[in-house]
Amino acid sequence: MNSKPVMPITATHIAYFHTCQRKLWLFHHGIRMEHNSEIVAEGKLIGESSYQDRATKYTELEIDGVKIDHYDPKNKIIHEVKKSNKVEQAHIAQVKYYLYVLHKNGIQGASAIIEYPKSRQRQTVEWENGDENTIHQWLREIDVLLNSALCPTLLNKPICKKCSYHDFCYINEPL
């Protein structure tokens, strides 16, 4: 009997699912490009330098294979910092997944704040009726995608130019 190890679905999987399914498939299959990306490094720097006291104020929480960097347990608020709101739907999906994991583990009434320090914007995300069904649908679709032997096709959208996988995806494409 051939049984492959099951990799837990993380918030990164959810964000990539909403950004680019090719990126998700590559990431899941061990092709990681984030470490080579200046844009990813800039995003990490923004996250670390924008709210320097955050690490002392909030808790890092790991639960069900998901890591939430900044959680305020007293007020049940997840604080998520992003470089830009260009892929805001993916950010919202990511924190909805965090809320799902908390909800599934008995932490009711949690919410999230996505902060974009460069543009001085904030987005509040609440757990809503129907979110659990929506996330279960995402998980089913992700399972099908990740178990496919074929890598999804190239998106070829403007967002691709700033993606950490750009060089990998466009290696054989004419300039």
pLDDT digits (tens, 9 = 90+) for 92-115: 999 999 999 999 999 999 999 998
- Is residue 6 included in any domain, yes or no? no
Region of 76 on the Ramachandran plot (φ > 0 left; ψ -120 to 50 alpha; else beta): left
Q: Is residue 133 part of a domain?
A: yes
pLDDT band at 54 (very low <50, low <70, confident <90, very high): low
| Contact call for residues 124 and 111 (beta carbons, < 8 A) | yes
Q: Assess if residue 25 is contained within a domain.
A: yes
Higher pLDDT, 160 or 44: 160
Q: Is residue 175 part of a domain?
A: no
Q: Is the model more confident about 55 or about 141?
A: 141
- Domain boundaries, position 38: 11-169
Is the residue at 5 inside a domain? no
Average pLDDT over residues 121-146: 95
The domain that holds 17 is classified in CATH as: 3.90.320.10
* pLDDT for residue 135 is more than 80: yes
81: in domain: yes
Q: What share of the chain is helix, strand, coil (3-state, %, to 5)?
A: 45, 15, 40
Does 103 fall in a domain? yes
Tens-place pLDDT, residues 29-40? 988 876 665 554
**pTM across the whole model:** 0.84
Distance CA 37, CA 157 (A): 18
How many independent structural domains does the chain possess?
1
Residue 80 domain-assigned (yes or no)? yes
